Amino acid sequence: MKYVYILESLNSLHFHVGITDDLRARLTKHNAGEVPHTSKYGPWRLKTYIAFSNEKQAIAFEKHLKSAPGRAFAKKRL
């Protein structure tokens, strides 16, 4: 399984979109400051996630969520 997730910063208005095989471990890494891109905006909480059995679909959806139309979709629907 691949999980596309959206994290929400507890200290600011920042969001982060990512993909992983293990949600708990990935959230722990984000909150421990082990991910340079998100370390300065933590702590993080899981806002939503979607599970995919097809890796290509998961990657395509993650890319979509990182685009302008995808961010608008996530803000409105997720």
| Selection from 5, 40, 39 nearest residue 19 by Cα | 5
| Selection from 63, 47, 38, 39 nearest residue 7 by Cα | 47
- What is the model's pLDDT at position 78? 85
- What is the model's pLDDT at position 12? 87
Tokens (6 digits) for 37:
């891109």
Residue spans of the domains in the chain: they are 2-77
- What is the model's pLDDT at position 36? 94
- What is the model's pLDDT at position 34? 96
The low-confidence residues of the chain, meaning pLDDT below 70, are none
Give the CATH H-level superfamily of domain 2-77: GIY-YIG endonuclease (3.40.1440.10)
- What is the model's pLDDT at position 41? 94
Q: What is the pTM of this model?
A: 0.92
